[in-house]
Structure 1
Amino acid sequence: MNLKEANISKNIMKATSKEKRTVRTHKLVNEEIRTNFTKLTEEKFKGMGVQQQTLEQRWKFFKDTTYDAARKVCGFTRTGGSKKRTSWWSEETKLAIKEKKKLRKAYLANSISQSYEMYKEGRKLVKDIVKKARVKEWEQFGEKIEENSKQNKKLFYGVLKRMRGKSGGFLGQITNKNGELLTEPADIADRWGEYFSELLEAHESEETPNNH
């Protein structure tokens, strides 16, 4: 490996080692944390001259305010970096990998056809076990995200309802994607939540390093 290749490899390692911070929004199901979140957001919303702002500016203000409040009261987790998620690691996986290593040693020692076939079988077994474990992990992760999103939707609806009642028209005229005026609190909450989700994803993607 020459100096140029070594530098490229070093830069790739640095990029992949960067961590991503994810707000622990699941904590909002806790009543005390939820109350603190609502209090922080309402304090920000009071006295803001948003009536003169554009709709895009309102979206940004709402996104930044709720994101910062959630980050303060919920904290965040670090993903990526040198520590990777290993919840798929189990005793079954550990034993399978240990057996694969034994078979590899036998193959290297004997270097005969039978040992090699046994090693290939052991390697395939490990891949299958790890694959199944990771699939199960992602299924559980998806279920958790879905459950949390339902809880968070109720929370943001409550915040929006308080905003509408206390600030006397903070929401202004909100329209759906077809340009139709929304007047029902539930419809307005859904529209805010819809756009907020898109902006939040964009916000977090900005913090995510490009590993390619």
Structure 2
Amino acid sequence: MKKACGTKKQGGPTRTLTAWWNEEIKEVIQTKKKLFKEWVKSKNEEDYIQYRLARRDAKRKTRLSKEASWKKYGEDLSAMCQTSTRDFYKSVKAMRVRDNPFDPTSVVNDPKGQPLYEDDLITGRWEEYFYDLLNPAGILDIGEGFDPSQLTTKSPIS
């Protein structure tokens, strides 16, 4: 039977599904849940205030952890793109296969191709980009040498 059907490997390495989940987040969520249960039992205003503060803290820490996780992922992708393009594309493909929606980081490259992560530098780069885009250098000014009397009324199809 074993020779005909083969064997199946069970178990294997465990993999964390979220890079932002860590012990600090776990403790904050557990504290929030505990305070919620206490408030449900007591219906006391003080317990509700403690629960709301814990909930606010849990949301803030979770958001910061997620942002840091995406930022690290973006930095890793930038480094991988320069060192190993094959691994870069594998990582991008693995990210796109997921059922979860894609949440990219807000990384913008400077004119030299280096990624920018600070908000003020990103804003400055967008300003520079659109200024260059909307004010091109080297194109003749239409106002110079334009004579509308030289326009022909012939159809371009003829």
Q: Could you state the TM-score of these two structures normalised by the residue count of structure 2?
A: 0.44
More helix by share: 1
Q: Could you state the TM-score of these two structures normalised by the residue count of structure 1?
A: 0.33
More strand by share: 1
Q: Which has the larger radius of gyration?
A: 2
